[in-house]
Structure 1
């Protein structure tokens, strides 16, 4: 029986099982988001029998989830990191998506007309299918790069995150325009598409920038009685931005990503509380979104389209994505061939293509159910083949670098307003040759010792504190930029 209590119980059980399974999957290099999808499929109509067949509800869940995921991804994006790769990222997220759509759409139409593949579509329908899958999935890329703690050479990580965070508008617009053209029976006009795309990017960019600046100004000036209210206030700004942008025919996904970038690169009151809240919320909505999409599909229906979906998926991985990447990055001679190959490989599909595939279903486009199943199959294929091999591919291409240590071993953090940095230092025998008192330790000018950790004991030091080999010192010092200004 469908009751509020049953929905809450079953939903909680699904989330509980997903998190437990994800811990096991992480050890074997299985993408966490793939496991969430599989949990949904396991409990769905062909599994344990949970009936969820509302494309509208799945689309609504996806819209909310993607807004939060893109905003949090933007917050984690440092402008000084994406600035050197801004042009490359924009080309990949616009021209790259268009090229992927054209190449894949042509291939689908070729399969329909010149082979015995079990697919029969017009050129426009083939382009629509390709458009829904043309963007890389932000949730998958952010999750994989960060959960696997990947650091990459040649500024590849910020380039990939910028691309995945900003390429949804192009795919979304192509999907909507093609649905309108097919539904109305009108001709495809390049001028209309170009105009609509410009409106999407213009309003998305302007409103996103303005909302981000307003959010920073408001959070730094409002004095709320509880710090836990700051992230909630910011979340409301994110949803207002998304809906306001959509009302004026802009792209809300681009707008909330820009809000995240603006907020993430500014000094912000209660940043730690906000970051912790948004990280937890992002994981929650990712789990809910992927489980919901897993419940929506009927696995037995994918058997009929497995062959053609496999051909299309392999074509996208081996031909369409690499060709579009190499063409977009052709003007940039400072990017090595190995880096281009790696960018081509990180063409991950995930929740975004599946959500976009619900639009033709809701619009009742002929053959939309087959289209949805093909997109879902290719998403699974991408997460299995590309998602499980990203780390190995980076090592094989010699593009991975050691992960930098974040924070300090003491778990101490300081507010952003205090222009200082914290480091930790482990004492060796050589450091204690001149004496074992704190006054004997040679420290840089402007650096003080806040704490000494000896085993499980914490000591507040003074100049005469005796130190032992293996002691860990928590150091506080001025930022280098401030030091240069003072000198």
Structure 2
């Protein structure tokens, strides 16, 4: 029992310190992962931990949950206009970053070409958790924020594919590169198809099943996300891509118990980040980092100042982003959980240079997060990419009221809404529908007949479930159709 007590004490301290660390990280403009990693490095002075396979399993589970949380909070209306640039960054951008960094690593670390490319692939993608944590509460240009969030949420599959393919080519030298290219299209295609299929199924099940308590719906949604990864991986597809696609579909659908699902996801994702980064920190010993100190700095500098900018400018060559915007996107390529989790793959595969790769990746992630994460706000200000007004996007959330026939809709009013500048007394709402609250500029207002709706207001609308469509029509007009996740494929008809 003494050992169990010590472990429980360490876990509790780890969670408490992790939560408190987020307060300091937001003030410093750093990704919280830095402090979690440092906490793990401190803890390894008091406990010995080297279970790489357990860390890889927990890391993969954490990535599923983080991607599911990020995907459900991604607005399709914001993502749709930048889908082309984000897709190019998530594929061609990762490939170019991998090649440039890999060639540099080959000379700096005295690696073979494949080993150098493997290191480049591991650190080739931006990290969703790091990007979300840095961009989330900052007043950056909305188009750039959406581009970076979409890129970071969708580029992990490319990094995973390249890492696994390069490991296989190192272990099996006779493997054909053409079979790897064919495998890429199969993985991405299956990931997209299965993600959409399970996303649509999940929405139907959540909206129609009657569970005894509303607290079970978030668990059902999370279970569907993990199932999406597992079944896609079983059939040879990209599990992470499937999870992200499924999450975007679910998050942009009319979903009962949406509020409780999103809040549960957010809290659970934070907990998994704390556990994952701390465990990853436990695998690192500061003494081993000293041996790659200067080489790690050189690779990090090449990655931040050469590989990432070159990848961004080339992959966005004919896209409508100016030089300042591309420069900002280049600097916002933060590294985090994915590279460190992927760095455990060579160790599990038994590659000779795996420990050097892991320590180098860890060092590069620390440098990237410290330098880029702490200066992102400053750079945005210098490039005059902050404070731009958002045109506003329609947003609808449903809050279920148990076994009743009523529900509360949380509706964010965009600039183009027909309800803007209309008083509540003049608003044509269906019978038995009432606006019970208005949130405006972080203040909750009590609605009266003379209250006038403004752009950006969030309305809390109490009404019958069967009159939901009429209420949305009154508040959003025909714009609500643009928000449905059916636009992801273009041929799935909305029920409404």
Q: Which residue of structure 2 aligns with residue 308 of structure 1? A: 295
Q: Which residue of structure 1 aligns with residue 485 of structure 2? A: none
Deviation readout 1:59-110 (Å, 9 max, x if unpaired): 0110100000001111011111111111111111111111111111111123
Q: Distance in 1 between matches of 2:479 and 2:159?
A: 47
Q: 2:134 aligns with which of 118, 133, 144?
A: 144
Q: Which residue of structure 2 aligns with residue 81 of structure 1? A: 78
Is residue 96 from structure 1 mapped to residue 96 from structure 2 by the alignment?
A: no
The answer as to whether partners of 1:422 and 1:475 remain within 8 angstroms in 2 is no
Q: Which residue of structure 1 aligns with residue 152 of structure 2? A: 164
Q: Distance in 1 between matches of 2:257 and 2:357?
A: 45
Root mean square deviation, CA, Å? 3.2
Q: Distance in 1 between matches of 2:234 and 2:4?
A: 32
SS of alignment partner, residue 237 of structure 1: helix
Q: Distance in 1 between matches of 2:459 and 2:159?
A: 49
Q: 2:312 aligns with which of 321, 325, 328?
A: 325
Shift of 1:55: 1.0
The answer as to whether partners of 2:257 and 2:399 remain within 8 angstroms in 1 is no
Count of residue correspondences: 441
Residues 41/405 of structure 1: CA separation in 2 closer, same or farther (3 Å cut): farther
Q: Which residue of structure 2 aligns with residue 37 of structure 1? A: 37
Shift of 1:297: 0.7
SS of alignment partner, residue 9 of structure 2: helix
- Output the TM-score relative to the length of structure 2: 0.82
Deviation readout 1:386-443 (Å, 9 max, x if unpaired): 0111111111111122687999xxxx986696667478xxxxxxxxxxxxxxxxx996
Map 1:350-361 to 2 at 5 A: 350-361=336-347
Deviation readout 1:4-45 (Å, 9 max, x if unpaired): 332222111111122223323322323222111111111113
The answer as to whether partners of 1:149 and 1:403 remain within 8 angstroms in 2 is no
Q: Which residue of structure 2 aligns with residue 374 of structure 1? A: 360
Q: Distance in 2 between matches of 1:397 and 1:104?
A: 27
Map 1:395-474 to 2 at 5 A: 395-401=381-387, 421=411, 445-446=427-428, 450=436
Map 1:24-423 to 2 at 5 A: 24-45=24-45, 49-111=46-108, 119-146=109-136, 148-153=137-142, 155-184=143-172, 186-187=173-174, 189-332=176-319, 334-401=320-387, 421=411
Task: Pick the structure with greater CA Rg.
Answer: 1
Q: Distance in 2 between matches of 1:350 and 1:328?
A: 22
Q: Distance in 1 between matches of 2:213 and 2:286?
A: 47
Shift of 1:151: 3.7
The answer as to whether partners of 2:218 and 2:265 remain within 8 angstroms in 1 is yes
The answer as to whether partners of 1:449 and 1:474 remain within 8 angstroms in 2 is yes
Deviation readout 1:168-224 (Å, 9 max, x if unpaired): 11111111111111112x146331221111111011111111110000010011111
Shift of 1:311: 0.4
- Output the TM-score relative to the length of structure 1: 0.83
Deviation readout 1:148-178 (Å, 9 max, x if unpaired): 334414x111211111111111111111111
Q: Distance in 2 between matches of 1:475 and 1:482?
A: 20
SS of alignment partner, residue 273 of structure 1: helix
Q: Distance in 2 between matches of 1:192 and 1:385?
A: 39
